[in-house]
Amino acid sequence: MNKVPITEQDKLNFNSVIENTLQKPEQAEAMAKILYNLALRLNAVPQNFMSEFTRLIERGLVEESKTILPKALNEISTTVLSLAEEDLSRSYTTGQLSKIFGVSISTINNWIDANRFVGFSRAAKNKQARISESTIWVSPTGEKIPVSEVAKLYQTNQQKMQLQHEPTKYERVRYLVEMIKFYEERYRGTFEEVIKEKGDPSMTEDFQWSREGKEWRAFLQEIEYD
């Protein structure tokens, strides 16, 4: 069966239904149960509140429901909506993803096993995984980011490194200065100041800081010894 397109207005209407439902506790609980079970079957239940939500439903904790239920329904509805959207996008292998995220293939596989790619699971053991760019990736801090955004960042950084012709020494130095200035403005400080706050880019799970921090450091080292 082919999936039907989901428009931006459809998303707004769906979110409106969720917001209205949250004003009615009994309806909210019923919808949360249904969406939870659907997401569970698709191996897509957000891990950060699974135990809280199941405890709430099983024991009917009235006081806790005031804080847990809204969070649970919003989280699950977001997950289900992302799974329901029409998928006409490209997909990536684990090897391609390792380059995009700047991590090893084993790390990508660990993320798959830990459900960090929402709703994705391997069709069969040892079968090559292909993950759609519309898939939501859960960062170490819990932020939900479409794979397409990570890929776009990777492509942008790659383009920065590609010069139209073999640069002269002057052009290369000017390029290095511009890129160092770009990162100082992006992170609002010098490399030394930022590294104190975010840590060594070679030892972080923050894919963006890992990639950009390493690049920034390389630019500084190159211009220092040029």
Q: How confident is the model at residue 210 (pLDDT cuts 50, 70, 90)?
A: confident
Contact 98, 105 (CB under 8 A): yes
Tell me how long the chain is: 226
pLDDT > 90? residue 191: yes
Q: Enumerate the domain spans of the chain.
A: 8-84, 91-146, 163-225
Neighbours of 187 (CB within 10 A): 18
Q: Which of 65-69, 82-86, 89-93 has the highest mean pLDDT?
A: 89-93
DSSP string, 146-195: EHHHHHHHHHHHHHHH--SS---HHHHHHHHHHHHHHHHHHHTS-HHHHH
- Between 113-127, 134-148, 150-164, the lowest mean confidence (pLDDT) is in 150-164
| Side-chain-side CA neighbours of residue 147 (13 Å) | 28
Query: Which residues make beta-bridge pairs with 87?
Result: none
Q: Which residue has the higher pLDDT, 148 or 122?
A: 148
Q: How confident is the model at residue 216 (pLDDT cuts 50, 70, 90)?
A: very high
Q: Per-residue pLDDT tens for 3-59? A: 667 777 888 888 888 888 888 877 887 887 888 777 666 555 555 556 666 666 665
Instruction: List all residues 6 or more positions away from 59 whose beta carbon is below 8 Å from its beta carbon.
Output: none
The pLDDT value given to residue 193: 93
Across the range 184-190, mean pLDDT stands at 88
142 dihedral zone (left: phi>0; alpha: psi -120 to 50; beta):
left
Q: Which residue has the higher pLDDT, 110 or 168?
A: 110
The pLDDT value given to residue 86: 46
Return the exposure string of 160-184: e unless at least 16 CB atoms fall within 10 Å of the residue's CB, then b: eeeeeeeeeeeeeeebbeebbeebe
Instruction: List all residues 6 or more positions away from 94 whose beta carbon is below 8 Å from its beta carbon.
Output: 105, 108, 109, 112, 128, 129, 131
pLDDT > 80? residue 101: yes
Q: Per-residue pLDDT tens for 192-206? A: 999 999 999 888 877
Which residue in 19, 21, 43, 41 sits closest to 30, CA to CA? 21
| Distance between CA atoms of residues 79 and 156, nearest Å | 28
Q: Which residue has the higher pLDDT, 117 or 60?
A: 117
Q: Which residue has the higher pLDDT, 41 or 120?
A: 120
Alpha helices in 85-123 (DSSP H): 94-101, 105-113
Which residue in 112, 50, 57 sits closest to 75, CA to CA? 50
Q: Per-residue pLDDT tens for 138-160? A: 887 778 888 888 888 877 776 66
The pLDDT value given to residue 1: 43
| Distance between CA atoms of residues 138 and 145, nearest Å | 6
Contact 118, 82 (CB under 8 A): yes
The pLDDT value given to residue 190: 93
